[in-house]
Amino acid sequence: MSDLFRKSVLPVYSYGISNREMSLLALLLAKYLHEEIKQLNNPIEFRNNSSSVILQILMELCGKMELQRLQIAEFNQKLNDINYHEQYFNLNPINLFESITGSKTKNINEAMDNAIVIKIFNDSKQFLIHWAIAYAEIIFTKLFKYP
């Protein structure tokens, strides 16, 4: 059962990575467990049954998703904290140039020649890079270790 599940069922449901696939996979697993439990005469038999693998996967799935949700909530709180707010944030050099100098720019190269524009633009990129990596590490770390 374990190989069948790992090699065919999990790939069909994209290993439960997105919310949709995870929900569909959980429904399938719950239905399978329901049918297995209905056929049991002795509850102890369930531990020796291949269905215990599915139960382990469901328990792991719920635990990891909750941990991930808590980590994301912690990052959201940090982003809302005043210590993490940037004084300026803008990724449009032309708009930056016009707001700093009060005059229109001929092209993006002229805007990027301004030291203040470059600093704000680069700080904005670094801010995005920092938080994108932080969130990606939570979201894309290996969530599941299938038995």
Q: What is the mean pLDDT of the chain?
A: 76
Q: Which residues constitute the domain of residue 21? A: 1-65
Instruction: Indicate if 142 and 98 belong to the same structural domain.
Output: yes
Q: For the chain, how many structural domains are there in total?
A: 2
Rounded CA-CA distance 28/14 in Å is 14
Residues 20-52 pLDDT 10s: 777 777 777 778 777 777 777 776 666 666 666
Mean predicted confidence (pLDDT) in 48-76: 71
Higher pLDDT, 90 or 11: 90
Residues 6+ apart with CB under 8 A from 136: none
Instruction: Indicate if 5 and 60 belong to the same structural domain.
Output: yes
How many residues make up the chain in this entry?
Answer: 147
Question: Around Cβ 124, how many Cβ atoms within 10 Å?
Answer: 17
At residue 109, the pLDDT reads: 93
**How much is the pTM?**
0.50
Residue 131 near residue 81, CB atoms below 8 Å: no
Instruction: Indicate if 60 and 108 belong to the same structural domain.
Output: no
Flag whether 75 is in a domain. Answer: no
